Amino acid sequence: MYRGLRVIAMAPVLNEEAKIGEVVRRTPRPLVDEMLVIDDGCTNLSPAVPRELCALVIPMGHVAGLGAAFRSGFPEAIARSTGRERGENAVGAVAARAQ
């Protein structure tokens, strides 16, 4: 919760099982109420890592790219915050290069 806002962070993932756990772990939980990880067609164990860290994983079922991953995550984030008054929610996007 940040200044009365329910905060949801989103992070797309594509075959980053060695790194996605650190992204989820480093998300500032005092500020972020929920972490959504969008599985952009992973073929390894990337989706399992954030699940073990209590993040919600949204499978896309195929590789569609970063923009499509974010577009699929926003409706889920909005749906998870239904019942709240307009302006009482915040959704943040997290993207990192795997280098």
Read off the pTM: 0.85
Instruction: Domain ranges for the chain, please list them.
Output: 6-93
Overall average pLDDT of the 8-19 stretch: 93
| Runs of H (alpha helix) within 16-65 | 20-25, 48-52
* CATH fold label, 6-93: Rossmann fold (3.40.50)
Position 96 confidence tier, pLDDT thresholds 50, 70, 90: low
Helix (H) or strand (E) holding 83: none
- Contact assessment for residue 40 and residue 63, using Cβ atoms and an 8 Å cutoff: yes
| pLDDT per position as a tens digit, 51-79 | 999 999 999 999 999 999 999 998 888 88
